[in-house]
Amino acid sequence: MESTSMMHALVIIDNLRRSQEEQAIRDVLVGLQNAGIQITEMVQSPESSHDEISPLATEAPLHTPMPLNWLQRRRIIDGLSREIGRSLPDVIITFGQFAASIGQDLAMSLELPLVVECWQTDHIKRPPLRPQIVSAYATASSGLANAMRERDQHHLVATTPHPITMTDTANDTTNLPPSIAILDAEVDARSTRDILDGLTETVKHHPDLQIFMELGKSRSNTTWRHAESLGLLDRISSFSNASVLRPLISDCTFLIIANSTCCTRSVIDEAMSKGRVILRPDHPMLASPDRRHQCILTESSKEAWAEAIEDLISDSDRRSRLGQQARTHVRQQNDPNRVFSTWTQLIHEVSSELSYPLGNAGSTTL
C-alpha cells in the first residue's frame, strides 16, 4: 500500500450524526490514525460557552456553530479557512448534513477535495450535497452504494462499512427469558403498529417476553397509546438511542427493525457480530448479502409479524444457525483492517487530483 505518513484529513462531524454513530465514526478516525493519516477534527460548538468541547479521536478539535447563521457564515468560514490553512489538509471528509454544508464552503475556499458520507435512503435521489460539488461519496450501506451507482449519482461511490471487532463467541441467550429490541420504532408508525399488534399474539404464548423499543426523543404518544390499548405497557421499556445501549441490544433474543427505509446502522452490525438475528420489513436498499443473513418480511401485516416473531422465539436452533451466519457475514464485511484500507484508498484517490472539484474516474466498487 502507498505510504500514508504525509496524508492529512480534516473530518467534520455535526451533533446529529454524532449522536447516531459516534462510536463508529470514532473507530474510523482511530483506524486512520493508526494507518498513519493525520486527523484534524472539527466538531459542533457546544450550546453554552461553559460547556467543554468533546473530541472523538484527537486532543484539540476545531469547533464551529452548526448550522451557520447566514449573516455570519462568510466571516466564520474565512476564520476557519485561515486556521486550517496553517496546516493544510489533503482532503475534507464530512459526517452529517450540517457538516456537509460547512465542508462544501471550506473545500471551495481552500480548493480541497471533499468526501461526503451518505446514510439515508433518500440520499439516492438527494444526497447531502450535489454530485458536482463533491469528489466522492462514502456510505456504510452496500445497498445504498449500489443504488447510487445505478442512478449515476457520482463516478466515485465507496462502500465503507462500519468497522466491527468480533468477539470470540456469540452471546448465548438460550436460557434467558425472551426479549426483543425494536429499533427505529418512531420512524415508521404504521410498521410499528403492525409489530405491536403481532406481539399481542406472541405474549399469549410467552408471558415473560420483554420488549425494548427505540422511540427517539419524541416519545411518540401515538405509539404509547396504541401499546397501552393492547395491554403491552407492563412489558415495554423505551429508550431514545440504541447506539448508546449496545450491550443491552446485543443481549436481546433478536432485533426487529421497524423502519422499512433503514439502510444500515453500526448497532445492527454489532448485534449481528454477537450472533443476534435481525427481523425487518423488505425494502429496495437491502443488498443481496443483507437478504441472505437477515430475516426479511415480504408482507408487513399483523399476521406476518406474529408468525415471524413466534418462529424465531420458539426455534432456538434456527436462531443459532442464523446467528452464526450473521457473524460470518459481519466478520467478512466489517473487518476493521479491510474498512480502514478502503478509507485509505479513497483518501489517496481523491487527493491524487490537482484541481477542485475532482474530475476523478476512480473505481466505484470499493
pLDDT in tens, the chain (366 residues): 444 457 999 999 999 999 999 999 999 999 999 999 999 999 999 886 667 888 899 998 999 999 998 888 899 999 999 989 888 999 999 999 999 999 999 999 999 999 999 999 899 989 999 999 999 999 999 999 999 998 887 789 999 999 999 988 887 777 889 999 999 998 888 999 999 999 999 999 999 999 999 988 765 578 888 999 999 999 999 999 999 999 889 999 999 999 877 778 999 999 999 999 999 998 877 888 888 889 999 888 999 999 999 999 999 999 999 999 999 999 999 999 999 999 999 999 999 854 333 333 334 344
Cell of 158: 465507496
Alpha carbon distance 23, 301 (integer Å): 34
The pLDDT score that the predictor gives to residue 50 is: 67
Statement to judge: residues 272 and 158 lie in one domain:
no
The pLDDT score that the predictor gives to residue 1 is: 42
Cell of 341: 484500507
Alpha carbon distance 88, 62 (integer Å): 14
Give the list of residues 6+ apart from residue 273 with CB closer than 8 angstroms, or none: 164, 166, 167, 326, 327, 330, 331, 334
Range of the domain at 28: 8-163+335-351
List the Cα angle 300/305/308 in 5-degree steps. Answer: 120
Statement to judge: residues 116 and 213 lie in one domain:
no
* 173 in a structural domain: no
* 358 in a structural domain: no
Statement to judge: residues 146 and 39 lie in one domain:
yes
Statement to judge: residues 322 and 192 lie in one domain:
yes
Give the list of residues 6+ apart from residue 234 with CB closer than 8 angstroms, or none: none
* 121 in a structural domain: yes
The sign of the dihedral angle between the CA atoms of 282, 285, 290, 291 is: positive
Q: Where are the beta strands (DSSP E) in the chain?
A: 8-13, 38-44, 62-64, 91-95, 114-117, 136-139, 157-159, 179-183, 210-214, 236-239, 254-257, 277-281, 295-297
| DSSP per-residue codes, 314-349 | H-HHHHHHHHHHHHHHHHHHS-HHHHHHHHHHHHHH
Statement to judge: residues 303 and 242 lie in one domain:
yes
In 10 A of CB 203, how many CB atoms? 17
Statement to judge: residues 155 and 203 lie in one domain:
no
Cell of 203: 405474549
The pLDDT score that the predictor gives to residue 134 is: 95
Statement to judge: residues 49 and 62 lie in one domain:
yes
Alpha carbon distance 41, 61 (integer Å): 5
Statement to judge: residues 319 and 342 lie in one domain:
no
Strands 210-214 and 179-183: parallel
- How many domains does the chain fold into? 2
CATH of residue 54: 3.40.50.2000
* 87 in a structural domain: yes
* 168 in a structural domain: no
The pLDDT score that the predictor gives to residue 78 is: 93
Statement to judge: residues 151 and 201 lie in one domain:
no
Alpha carbon distance 200, 223 (integer Å): 14
Query: Prior bond to 67 cis, omega within 30?
Result: yes
The pLDDT score that the predictor gives to residue 362 is: 37
Query: Prior bond to 65 cis, omega within 30?
Result: no
Statement to judge: residues 153 and 184 lie in one domain:
no
Statement to judge: residues 295 and 339 lie in one domain:
no
The pLDDT score that the predictor gives to residue 48 is: 65
* 83 in a structural domain: yes
Statement to judge: residues 20 and 126 lie in one domain:
yes
Q: Please report where in the chains the cell 407492563 appears, as a residue.
A: 234
